[in-house]
Amino acid sequence: MSRQSYRRKKKRQKWIKHTVFITVALISAVAVSLLGIRLYAQIAGAPPLTVTKASVFLDSNGNRIGDHFTAERRYWVELDEISPYLIDATVAVEDKDYYKHNGFDFSRIASALLTDLKTQSMAEGASTITMQLARNLYLSLDKTWTRKIQESFYAYRLETFYNKDEILEGYLNTVNYGHGMYGVEAASRYYFGKSASELTLAESALLAGIPKGPSIYSPINDFEKSTNRQKTILGLMEDQKYISLEEKERAISEKIVLKNEQWTAAKSIAPYFLDVVWQEAEQILKNENKNIREGGWVIKTTLNQAHQQAAEQAIENNMPDSDLQAGLVSMDVKTGQVTALVGGRDYEKSSFNRVTQAARQPGSSIKPFLYAAALENGFSPLTYLNVGETIFTYDNGRATYKPQNVNGQFADGEMSLAQAIAISDNIYAVKTLEKIGYEPFRDMLERFDLNYSKANNPSIALGTIETSLYDLTNAYNTLAAQGKQRQATTILSIEDANGEIVYEYKKPEEKQVISEEDAFILTDMLTGIFDPIYSDYSPATGVSLRPRMTHTYAAKSGTTVSDQWILGFTPSITAGVWNGYDQGKTLSVQEDMAASKQVWIDFMEAINEGKPNETFEAPDGVEGVVVDIETGKLATDACPKQRLIYVKKEDVPTEKCSSTELFDNDSWNNFLDLFPFEAFKNFLN
């Protein structure tokens, strides 16, 4: 062998050794890498397939009325709850070899890599359904090599721990279909107004085309582009033997009917109410050591849809064409459950809830709680006070206060508590506070869970301490419940995503805030605002509503320079209405000032239509007597202003309003006492 041949042989052997070494090293490196990836996957465990889901709201009858979501709207559904057409269409367009590969389509990856190298970009993704699910669940949408590597790792873990159907289910429940809809169920409801299980072939193909570019292929944004892509997908489904030529042609000819407008309308059911529900649910779940942001909750609410519709209609029918705002809330007397709530005229323009978030001066609507304190401190409905124009001094004589009545007039002399509450006399209220003292009033406000002030200012008798309509209506609801404490609530039950009940409403133990006797006496006096017999220098405050009343109501209105209130109840339902301007603008137009009462009576009459009238039942210890309004004495035919008034038995008057009535027995007896002849008296009697 020549020297040259020997050298060539040695070089060949050396090259073979190097090649073998490098090959073995590469194989070993790949094996070690694969083993490392496998070990990493085993140590890291199965990545979760769960995502934040929409929480669903139900009304008191179990009907769906809305939902709540964080950043994305989605409803998780099982694979067998999705139309087979949509499953096939998705696989056909997104990953035709999905059931053949193990998470990576290497031919597509190689093709995409060459394209990316040529364009020096990441124009081609080559992501399989598994890789897309990994991105949807765990990663951002940034087009970087780092994200691609992370995506691959997650895809490997998904394929390791889940089967193909589980991964496909996860993908279909997380992919973006545009307009804030994530997952097939949310998208199907939004675009077509139906569940994903009911989608036709044509609808499925159209829906499957959206994820490639939700803003481009949404049928709402560009119907032509959307349907062109639909035809492409139907062609792919035919090529891949999912459908026949005839099925494709029928689907292409099918008319697509979008129903997103219906969805938009449906989602607006009681939006202010649902905001309150969400806030209450958050606190309930916090008390159960659960985080509401997990989502997937099914929250059964107290909403009565008939009451809600009546509330919305009453506001729509009676509000003037101005910026005047409104709030209305109704509560069940027996339970405290909120049956309807409207926090403003237009939720889309302003989500600020004027029922729960606005704190305003309640004006005279606070007076029933002042008079509740008075009844505990020696007053009765027949307690008379001089209500002429008065200047009050306070702060040890350093300050004065001169209250006015709404019409600027004053009574000539004395007036009873029953009449004062009916016409809302302000002098009577301030004198009452002066007589009973500040502490009893503060104590009463605290018992009814209302705001109070520690300052001794006589104006608080006229409702200058701010409160919310929600809290004030709840206080009236306690009054309606014979003085038994009521706590407003909007939630009946909460289920988690697994169907487990984590909270169920239970009626709390009742606490007697004021006696049943005082609660009834106050209630009876509040029916007086509709009775013209009480009219004096000013009419009874609710007398204008009397022609429209078909049921018995107890109520009280309140007025400030920028607020109008009316709150009232039957034995079954309590409702409160507020009107005013968000910026506290002065109410000066009569149309604005009249709205609250019209809204209230419309609502109360609507929800009670066709129902028998309910009356307030007097408890033991209370007696009804017909009295003369002017004097508070027992009425006779000689006293024209008479009314049945309920008082405690010890407060029943014994003196009659007139001792000169011609046929009054007591008057005759007094007269006959002047004669000494017994026989003569017997003859006349």
pTM of the model as a whole? 0.74
Question: What's the pLDDT at 675?
Answer: 47
Question: What's the pLDDT at 543?
Answer: 95
Between 593 and 485, the higher pLDDT residue: 485
Report residue 90's pLDDT band, with 50, 70 and 90 as the boundaries. Answer: very high
Between 28 and 640, the higher pLDDT residue: 640
Report residue 672's pLDDT band, with 50, 70 and 90 as the boundaries. Answer: very low
Q: Give the mean pLDDT of 246-259.
A: 93
Question: What's the pLDDT at 561?
Answer: 92
The whole-angstrom separation of Cα 383 and Cα 429 is: 12
Active site residue 515: no
Q: Give the mean pLDDT of 102-109.
A: 51
Alpha helices in 84-144 (DSSP H): 84-94, 106-119, 129-138
Distances (CA, A) of 291 to 137, 208, 400: 20, 34, 53
List the catalytic residue out of 127, 218, 330, 364: 364
The whole-angstrom separation of Cα 626 and Cα 646 is: 9
Question: Are 484 and 619 a contacting pair, CB within 8 Å?
Answer: no
Q: Is the pLDDT of residue 264 over 90?
A: no
Question: Are 430 and 392 a contacting pair, CB within 8 Å?
Answer: yes
Active site residue 94: yes
List the catalytic residue out of 55, 83, 94, 380: 94
Question: What's the pLDDT at 7?
Answer: 66
CA-based end-to-end distance of the chain: 168
Task: Give the rounded distance of the alpha carbon of 47 from its chain centre.
Answer: 36
The whole-angstrom separation of Cα 250 and Cα 243 is: 11
* Average pLDDT across the chain, whole number: 85
Report residue 291's pLDDT band, with 50, 70 and 90 as the boundaries. Answer: confident
Q: Is the pLDDT of residue 635 over 70?
A: yes
Question: What's the pLDDT at 146?
Answer: 56
Report residue 262's pLDDT band, with 50, 70 and 90 as the boundaries. Answer: low
Distances (CA, A) of 587 to 77, 294, 582, 593, 594: 53, 45, 12, 7, 10
Question: What's the pLDDT at 497?
Answer: 85
Report residue 296's pLDDT band, with 50, 70 and 90 as the boundaries. Answer: confident
Q: What would the pLDDT profile of 353-390 be if each residue is shown by its tens digit?
A: 999 999 999 999 999 999 999 999 999 999 999 999 99
Question: Are 492 and 302 a contacting pair, CB within 8 Å?
Answer: yes
Q: Give the mean pLDDT of 417-435.
A: 97
Q: Is the pLDDT of residue 1 over 70?
A: no
Nearest to 641 by CA among 655, 627, 653, 623: 627
Q: Is the pLDDT of residue 558 over 50?
A: yes
Q: What would the pLDDT profile of 472-498 be if each residue is shown by its tens digit?
A: 999 999 999 999 999 999 999 999 988
Question: What's the pLDDT at 268?
Answer: 61
Q: What percentage of the chain reaches a pLDDT higher than 70? A: 81
CA torsion, points 179, 185, 190, 195, in degrees to nearest 10?
170
Question: What's the pLDDT at 342?
Answer: 97
